[in-house]
Structure 1
Amino acid sequence: MAINFNNALGIHAEALNVRSRRSEILANNLANSDTPGFKARDLDFQGILRGEYESRQRMELNRTSARHIPAEAIIEDSSLQYRIPHQPAIDGNTVETNIEQAEFARNAMDFQSSFTFLNSRFSGLSKALRDQG
Protein backbone atom coordinates (compact mmCIF):
# COMPACT_ATOMS: atom_id res chain seq x y z
CA MET A 1 0.00 0.00 0.00
CA ALA A 2 1.45 3.39 -1.03
CA ILE A 3 1.71 6.18 1.48
CA ASN A 4 0.26 9.50 0.38
CA PHE A 5 2.27 12.16 2.23
CA ASN A 6 -0.30 14.89 1.54
CA ASN A 7 -2.96 12.85 3.33
CA ALA A 8 -0.59 11.72 6.07
CA LEU A 9 0.81 15.17 6.89
CA GLY A 10 -2.24 17.30 6.25
CA ILE A 11 -1.83 21.04 6.15
CA HIS A 12 0.96 21.11 8.75
CA ALA A 13 3.82 20.99 6.24
CA GLU A 14 2.51 24.11 4.49
CA ALA A 15 1.74 25.70 7.87
CA LEU A 16 5.42 25.37 8.86
CA ASN A 17 6.47 27.28 5.75
CA VAL A 18 3.93 30.03 6.35
CA ARG A 19 4.78 30.28 10.07
CA SER A 20 8.47 30.56 9.18
CA ARG A 21 7.75 33.36 6.70
CA ARG A 22 5.52 35.12 9.23
CA SER A 23 8.31 34.91 11.81
CA GLU A 24 10.61 36.79 9.42
CA ILE A 25 7.98 39.48 8.81
CA LEU A 26 7.28 39.98 12.52
CA ALA A 27 11.01 40.11 13.29
CA ASN A 28 11.39 42.75 10.56
CA ASN A 29 8.59 44.77 12.17
CA LEU A 30 10.34 44.60 15.54
CA ALA A 31 13.70 45.52 14.02
CA ASN A 32 12.15 48.63 12.48
CA SER A 33 10.17 49.75 15.53
CA ASP A 34 12.20 52.99 15.71
CA THR A 35 12.31 53.69 11.96
CA PRO A 36 10.27 56.82 11.13
CA GLY A 37 7.47 56.11 8.66
CA PHE A 38 7.85 52.30 8.82
CA LYS A 39 4.55 50.47 8.36
CA ALA A 40 4.09 47.18 10.23
CA ARG A 41 2.98 44.26 8.07
CA ASP A 42 1.61 40.79 8.68
CA LEU A 43 0.33 37.76 6.79
CA ASP A 44 -3.25 36.65 6.38
CA PHE A 45 -2.44 33.14 7.62
CA GLN A 46 -5.94 31.69 7.18
CA GLY A 47 -6.22 33.08 3.63
CA ILE A 48 -2.88 31.59 2.64
CA LEU A 49 -3.83 28.13 3.90
CA ARG A 50 -7.16 28.34 2.09
CA GLY A 51 -5.20 28.93 -1.11
CA GLU A 52 -6.67 32.34 -1.85
CA TYR A 53 -3.33 33.78 -2.88
CA GLU A 54 -2.27 31.14 -5.40
CA SER A 55 -3.96 33.03 -8.22
CA ARG A 56 -1.76 36.12 -7.81
CA GLN A 57 -0.82 37.91 -10.97
CA ARG A 58 2.67 36.83 -12.06
CA MET A 59 4.96 38.08 -14.78
CA GLU A 60 7.81 36.27 -16.46
CA LEU A 61 11.17 37.99 -16.13
CA ASN A 62 13.23 38.71 -19.24
CA ARG A 63 16.30 36.57 -19.81
CA THR A 64 19.28 38.11 -21.55
CA SER A 65 20.87 34.73 -22.14
CA ALA A 66 19.49 31.28 -22.93
CA ARG A 67 21.59 29.96 -20.03
CA HIS A 68 19.69 32.04 -17.46
CA ILE A 69 17.22 30.23 -15.24
CA PRO A 70 13.61 31.16 -16.05
CA ALA A 71 11.97 33.11 -13.25
CA GLU A 72 8.68 34.74 -12.38
CA ALA A 73 7.97 37.79 -10.29
CA ILE A 74 4.86 38.18 -8.19
CA ILE A 75 3.43 41.53 -9.08
CA GLU A 76 1.50 41.92 -5.87
CA ASP A 77 1.87 39.88 -2.70
CA SER A 78 -1.70 40.22 -1.50
CA SER A 79 -1.09 37.90 1.46
CA LEU A 80 1.15 40.54 3.05
CA GLN A 81 -1.03 43.24 4.57
CA TYR A 82 -0.42 46.38 6.58
CA ARG A 83 -1.27 46.15 10.26
CA ILE A 84 -3.78 48.74 11.49
CA PRO A 85 -2.25 50.31 14.61
CA HIS A 86 -4.13 51.07 17.81
CA GLN A 87 -1.78 53.97 18.56
CA PRO A 88 0.45 55.04 15.65
CA ALA A 89 3.56 57.04 16.51
CA ILE A 90 3.85 60.73 15.66
CA ASP A 91 6.65 59.93 13.17
CA GLY A 92 4.32 57.68 11.14
CA ASN A 93 5.69 54.37 12.44
CA THR A 94 2.89 51.84 12.99
CA VAL A 95 4.91 49.18 14.86
CA GLU A 96 3.50 48.54 18.32
CA THR A 97 6.25 46.60 20.04
CA ASN A 98 4.05 44.85 22.61
CA ILE A 99 1.64 43.62 19.93
CA GLU A 100 4.47 42.49 17.64
CA GLN A 101 6.15 40.60 20.51
CA ALA A 102 2.87 38.91 21.44
CA GLU A 103 2.22 37.92 17.80
CA PHE A 104 5.80 36.66 17.47
CA ALA A 105 5.41 34.50 20.61
CA ARG A 106 2.03 33.16 19.43
CA ASN A 107 3.50 32.39 16.00
CA ALA A 108 6.44 30.56 17.64
CA MET A 109 4.04 28.40 19.69
CA ASP A 110 1.95 27.62 16.60
CA PHE A 111 5.12 26.73 14.69
CA GLN A 112 6.18 24.40 17.50
CA SER A 113 2.72 22.79 17.56
CA SER A 114 2.83 22.04 13.83
CA PHE A 115 6.41 20.82 14.13
CA THR A 116 5.51 18.49 17.01
CA PHE A 117 2.54 17.16 15.05
CA LEU A 118 4.68 16.51 11.97
CA ASN A 119 7.37 14.87 14.08
CA SER A 120 4.82 12.46 15.56
CA ARG A 121 3.43 11.73 12.07
CA PHE A 122 6.90 10.95 10.71
CA SER A 123 7.62 8.75 13.71
CA GLY A 124 4.38 6.85 13.07
CA LEU A 125 5.09 6.50 9.35
CA SER A 126 8.64 5.34 10.08
CA LYS A 127 7.34 2.73 12.52
CA ALA A 128 4.75 1.55 9.98
CA LEU A 129 7.46 1.16 7.32
CA ARG A 130 9.71 -0.81 9.70
CA ASP A 131 6.83 -3.12 10.67
CA GLN A 132 6.01 -3.83 7.01
CA GLY A 133 9.59 -4.66 6.05
Structure 2
Amino acid sequence: MPISFDSALGIHTKALDVRARRTELLATNIANSDTPDYKARDIDFKAVLSRANDHLSSGLSRSNARHLPLSNDAESLNLLYRVPNHASLDGNTVDGQLEKAAFADNALRYQASLTFLDQKFKGLIGALKGE
Protein backbone atom coordinates (compact mmCIF):
# COMPACT_ATOMS: atom_id res chain seq x y z
CA MET A 1 0.00 0.00 0.00
CA PRO A 2 1.58 3.34 -1.03
CA ILE A 3 2.13 6.09 1.51
CA SER A 4 0.31 9.33 0.85
CA PHE A 5 2.35 12.17 2.30
CA ASP A 6 -0.68 14.47 2.14
CA SER A 7 -2.68 12.22 4.44
CA ALA A 8 0.31 11.33 6.62
CA LEU A 9 1.40 14.91 7.26
CA GLY A 10 -2.07 16.38 7.48
CA ILE A 11 -2.55 20.12 7.69
CA HIS A 12 0.97 20.82 8.98
CA THR A 13 2.48 21.38 5.52
CA LYS A 14 -0.20 23.94 4.66
CA ALA A 15 0.31 25.64 8.02
CA LEU A 16 4.02 25.92 7.27
CA ASP A 17 3.31 27.48 3.86
CA VAL A 18 0.89 30.02 5.31
CA ARG A 19 3.28 30.89 8.17
CA ALA A 20 6.09 31.47 5.65
CA ARG A 21 3.88 33.76 3.55
CA ARG A 22 2.78 35.63 6.68
CA THR A 23 6.43 36.12 7.66
CA GLU A 24 7.05 37.79 4.30
CA LEU A 25 4.04 40.07 4.73
CA LEU A 26 4.98 41.10 8.26
CA ALA A 27 8.57 41.78 7.20
CA THR A 28 7.28 43.94 4.35
CA ASN A 29 5.08 45.85 6.78
CA ILE A 30 8.02 46.48 9.11
CA ALA A 31 10.24 47.56 6.22
CA ASN A 32 7.61 50.07 5.05
CA SER A 33 6.82 51.53 8.47
CA ASP A 34 8.01 54.98 7.30
CA THR A 35 6.56 54.87 3.78
CA PRO A 36 3.77 57.43 3.29
CA ASP A 37 0.37 55.94 2.37
CA TYR A 38 1.60 52.35 2.88
CA LYS A 39 -1.21 50.08 4.06
CA ALA A 40 -0.21 47.20 6.34
CA ARG A 41 -1.37 43.77 5.13
CA ASP A 42 -1.90 40.49 6.95
CA ILE A 43 -3.42 37.04 6.56
CA ASP A 44 -6.32 35.59 8.54
CA PHE A 45 -4.46 32.39 9.45
CA LYS A 46 -7.46 30.63 10.97
CA ALA A 47 -9.65 31.23 7.93
CA VAL A 48 -6.98 30.03 5.49
CA LEU A 49 -6.28 26.89 7.52
CA SER A 50 -9.99 26.23 7.91
CA ARG A 51 -10.41 26.35 4.11
CA ALA A 52 -7.40 24.07 3.66
CA ASN A 53 -8.78 21.64 6.24
CA ASP A 54 -12.14 21.59 4.44
CA HIS A 55 -10.35 20.65 1.20
CA LEU A 56 -8.40 17.89 2.97
CA SER A 57 -11.45 16.47 4.72
CA SER A 58 -13.60 16.58 1.59
CA GLY A 59 -11.17 14.28 -0.21
CA LEU A 60 -11.03 16.48 -3.30
CA SER A 61 -8.03 15.99 -5.50
CA ARG A 62 -6.96 16.70 -9.05
CA SER A 63 -7.05 13.56 -11.15
CA ASN A 64 -5.42 15.30 -14.10
CA ALA A 65 -2.73 18.01 -14.23
CA ARG A 66 -4.90 20.01 -16.64
CA HIS A 67 -7.74 20.32 -14.09
CA LEU A 68 -8.11 23.60 -12.25
CA PRO A 69 -6.36 23.72 -8.86
CA LEU A 70 -8.37 23.70 -5.65
CA SER A 71 -7.32 27.34 -5.09
CA ASN A 72 -5.98 26.88 -1.58
CA ASP A 73 -2.35 27.52 -2.43
CA ALA A 74 -0.25 30.29 -0.88
CA GLU A 75 -0.78 32.62 -3.85
CA SER A 76 -4.56 32.66 -3.44
CA LEU A 77 -4.53 33.81 0.18
CA ASN A 78 -6.99 36.53 0.98
CA LEU A 79 -4.74 39.36 2.04
CA LEU A 80 -6.40 41.74 4.43
CA TYR A 81 -5.58 45.32 5.31
CA ARG A 82 -4.73 45.90 8.95
CA VAL A 83 -6.93 48.44 10.73
CA PRO A 84 -4.64 50.89 12.55
CA ASN A 85 -5.07 51.65 16.26
CA HIS A 86 -3.95 55.24 15.73
CA ALA A 87 -4.34 57.29 12.58
CA SER A 88 -1.12 58.48 10.97
CA LEU A 89 -0.86 61.89 9.35
CA ASP A 90 0.91 60.48 6.29
CA GLY A 91 -1.65 57.68 5.72
CA ASN A 92 0.66 54.86 6.83
CA THR A 93 -1.17 52.14 8.79
CA VAL A 94 1.89 50.26 10.11
CA ASP A 95 2.25 50.11 13.90
CA GLY A 96 5.89 49.12 14.35
CA GLN A 97 5.47 47.54 17.79
CA LEU A 98 2.39 45.58 16.74
CA GLU A 99 4.11 44.32 13.60
CA LYS A 100 7.25 43.28 15.48
CA ALA A 101 5.17 41.44 18.09
CA ALA A 102 3.18 39.69 15.33
CA PHE A 103 6.43 38.80 13.56
CA ALA A 104 7.90 37.26 16.74
CA ASP A 105 4.69 35.32 17.43
CA ASN A 106 4.57 34.06 13.85
CA ALA A 107 8.23 32.99 14.02
CA LEU A 108 7.51 30.96 17.15
CA ARG A 109 4.50 29.30 15.54
CA TYR A 110 6.52 28.62 12.38
CA GLN A 111 9.09 26.79 14.53
CA ALA A 112 6.27 24.82 16.18
CA SER A 113 4.99 23.76 12.75
CA LEU A 114 8.50 22.59 11.85
CA THR A 115 8.64 20.60 15.08
CA PHE A 116 5.28 18.95 14.33
CA LEU A 117 6.46 18.00 10.84
CA ASP A 118 9.73 16.67 12.25
CA GLN A 119 7.81 14.40 14.61
CA LYS A 120 5.55 13.22 11.78
CA PHE A 121 8.58 12.32 9.63
CA LYS A 122 10.23 10.51 12.55
CA GLY A 123 7.04 8.53 13.02
CA LEU A 124 6.93 7.64 9.32
CA ILE A 125 10.57 6.58 9.34
CA GLY A 126 9.94 4.47 12.42
CA ALA A 127 6.97 2.82 10.73
CA LEU A 128 9.02 2.08 7.61
CA LYS A 129 11.83 0.58 9.69
CA GLY A 130 9.32 -1.47 11.66
CA GLU A 131 10.19 0.05 15.02
TM-score (norm. length: structure 1):
0.75
After superposition, the CA RMSD in angstroms is 1.7
Residue in structure 1 matched with residue 56 of structure 2 by the alignment: none
Q: How far does residue 78 in structure 1 lie from its aligned partner after superposition? A: 6.2
Residues 88 and 95, structure 1, Cα contact 8 Å, conserved in 2: no
Work out the CA distance in 1 between the residues paired with 2:87 and 2:95: 8
Q: How far does residue 4 in structure 1 lie from its aligned partner after superposition? A: 3.0
Residue in structure 1 matched with residue 100 of structure 2 by the alignment: 101
TM superposition outliers: structure 1 runs of 4+ over 4 Å: none
Residue in structure 2 matched with residue 29 of structure 1 by the alignment: 29
Q: How far does residue 11 in structure 1 lie from its aligned partner after superposition? A: 0.7
- In 2 relative to 1, CA 2–78 (structure 1 residues): closer, same or farther, beyond 3 Å? closer
Matches within 5 A, 1:1-133: 1-51=1-51, 79-131=78-130
Work out the CA distance in 2 between the residues paired with 1:126 and 1:8: 12
From the CA coordinates, give the structure whose radius of gyration is larger: 1
Q: How far does residue 46 in structure 1 lie from its aligned partner after superposition? A: 1.2
Query: Which structure: greater helix fraction?
Result: 2
Percentage of identical aligned residues: 52
Query: Which structure: greater strand fraction?
Result: 1
Q: Deviations over 1:11-67 (max 9, x none)?
A: 110000000000000000000000011000101111111228xxxxxxxxxxxxxxx
**Ranges in structure 2 where 5+ consecutive residues have no aligned partner:** 53-75
TM-score (norm. length: structure 2):
0.76
Partner of 1:51, secondary structure, is helix
Q: How far does residue 5 in structure 1 lie from its aligned partner after superposition? A: 2.2
Residues 47 and 79, structure 1, Cα contact 8 Å, conserved in 2: no
